[in-house]
Amino acid sequence: MTEHHQRAREAADVLAGLTGVDHHDIALVLGSGWLPAVDALADRDGWTVNAEIATTDLPGFGAAAVAGHSGRIRSIGSGDRNLLVFLSRTHFYEGKGVAAVVHPVRTAAAAGCETIVLTNGCGGLRETWSPGTPVLISDHINLTAHSPIEGAHFVDLTDLYSPRLRRLCREVDPSLDEAVYVQFPGPHYETPAEIGMVRAIGGELVGMSTTLEAIAAREAGMEVLGISLVTNLAAGISDAPLHHEEVLEAGRSAAVRMGGLLSEIVGRI
């Protein structure tokens, strides 16, 4: 066990003590704009909040650094199932290192989660995707030039984004599109030329998170579902300037639909 995995084990032990929940089943990492959706989830179908704690209460976690993210972790239960929700994430561009970015994923795995739902707010390359459109991640391209895996530990990323979970999502909502997600390091938005490159290499979603977490989840043996909330058209697709507030507004506008989608999906996993 590496030092980073040991720290995740320690965080999971503290988490169990603070929440009173010994075992969580599913983890959910919230991206920009997704907080209203999980609030809506908590109001549906018998899901109740077991506990909510500050991320800084756990070893290895820092405070949230981005507007629209809450530096808290929420445990939600329904029957004998428990959902572990990270209301914030550490982004690669914060400069804290890859291990900090994937620490929540490793903590979730140590807490018993066998499935993880990774969400994000991102730019979309299809003009038919209006702000607030959810899109399933079918695959990714990691342009950070980094990996969370240390040493000669070779992890197969074929079908990284679970085909089974994507089929389940389309049963819930047949209108859901799928696309390849491309992660840039950030924090600046992409140039129109870079978006042209994304299109050329087969990407249609672009953002600053998710891929490193997905790799760490696969390393931990978790089944991965990725859902992007298209919050704006990517640079050069429209003439509108890009700003973070539109990301948050798209999330607020789509909260009820996203909450319903999460509730249906989590209930079937």
Give catalytic residues, as residue numbers.
190
Q: Comparing C-alpha atoms, which of 135, 244, 241, 225 is closest to residue 186?
A: 244
Give strand pairing partners of 139: 180
Span between the terminal Cα atoms of the chain, in Å: 29
Strand, coil or helix: 98 = helix
Q: How many helices (H) and strands (E) does the chain have?
A: 8, 9
Residue 80 CB partners (closer than 8 Å, separation 6+): none
Give strand pairing partners of 83: 26, 76
Whose structure tokens read 């299109």? 199
Q: How far apart are CA 71 and CA 193, in angstroms?
A: 34
Burial of 161 (0-12, 13-18, 19+ CB in 10 A): buried
Convert 159-203 into a string of H (helix), E (strand) and C (coil). Answer: CCECHHHHHHHHHHCCCCEEEEEEECCCCCCCCHHHHHHHHHCCC
Q: What is the number of other CB atoms lying within 10 angstroms of the CB of residue 164? A: 11
Q: Comparing C-alpha atoms, which of 108, 45, 109, 105 is closest to residue 77?
A: 45
